[in-house]
Amino acid sequence: MPAVLYEKKGNVAYITLNRPEVMNAMDQDVYNGLNQAFHDIDTDPNIRVGIVTGAGDKAFSAGADLKKMHSRHVPDEFWQPWRQDQFYLGLNVAKPLIAAINGYCLAGALELATFCDIRIASENSSFGAPEVRWNLLHGYGALRLVQAIPLASAMELLLTGKRIDAKEALRIGLVSRVVPSSKLMPTAMEIADAICENGPMAVKVTKELALRGANMPLDQAIRLFWALRAIVYESEDTKEGPMAFSEKRKPVFKGR
């Protein structure tokens, strides 16, 4: 069986980490599969949303497979700004990504979850960044967590290496919803369907504006908004949207 399952249904793509026998721990095959899936989501014009989850009900993922990923020799030229043995291509996905988190979401899996724009969790989920316990670095997660949740909460996770449950993750804003395990994927699909009903160009550009503009001075962010607005407002879909509203019908968007 492949380490990552990838399936497309309608306008939604589904990525499933598929190593349940080791809590969906991420090895080279998983990273390769994730990168291929992210690339396809970004380039397939029919896909509007991606959902990332883990096989089984015990783990979204327990993080990197330490037996495989940290036992090899690291050559001098190993450092690169973008590592192909990781899942950093996810940073470039213009379309919304939803993390459907079931069970353990630890270490690199927490990083993967923070790549996603929307995170929902099952009631049995737990979250943590235990890398410091093994003298490792949380990497991208250390940069992203301090933007995604309050600084004090992020630092407690990063520096203690302790876990939090789904209820606490919801309280600090790490996830937007907590649902029973049986309702996890239906909820993710419900959110994905709601996104797919909207103008695809407006959705992509809104994601771009929210993520890029958040780290800009306000005057520069406003300039970015006006530049992106001009692109969206010249599209066919921007003519279709108001016309559908005036005609009291559902718009038919074409993504152009």
Q: What are phi and psi of 52, to 5 degrees?
A: -110, 130
Composition of the chain by helix, strand, coil, percent to 5: 50, 20, 35
Report the distance separating Cα 2 and Cα 17, nearest Å.
Answer: 9
Asked about 131 being catalytic, the answer comes back as yes
Amino acid at 59: A
Q: Is 197 a catalytic residue?
A: no
Q: Longest C-alpha distance within the chain, in Å?
A: 65
Burial class (CB in 10 A: 0-12, 13-18, 19+), 16: buried
168 by DSSP, 3-state: which?
A: helix
Q: Which of 7, 131, 168, 247 is catalytic?
A: 131
Strands 49-54 and 12-17, bridge-based pairing: parallel
Query: Pick from 4, 11, 107: which is nearest to 53 by CA?
Result: 4
- 247's tokens: 């005609």
How does DSSP assign 64-97, residue by residue? B-HHHHTSS---GGG--SS-TTTTGGGGG--S-E
Active-site residue among 7, 77, 111, 123? 111
How far is Cα 120 from Cα 184, in angstroms, rounded to an integer? 7
Return the active site residues: 111, 131
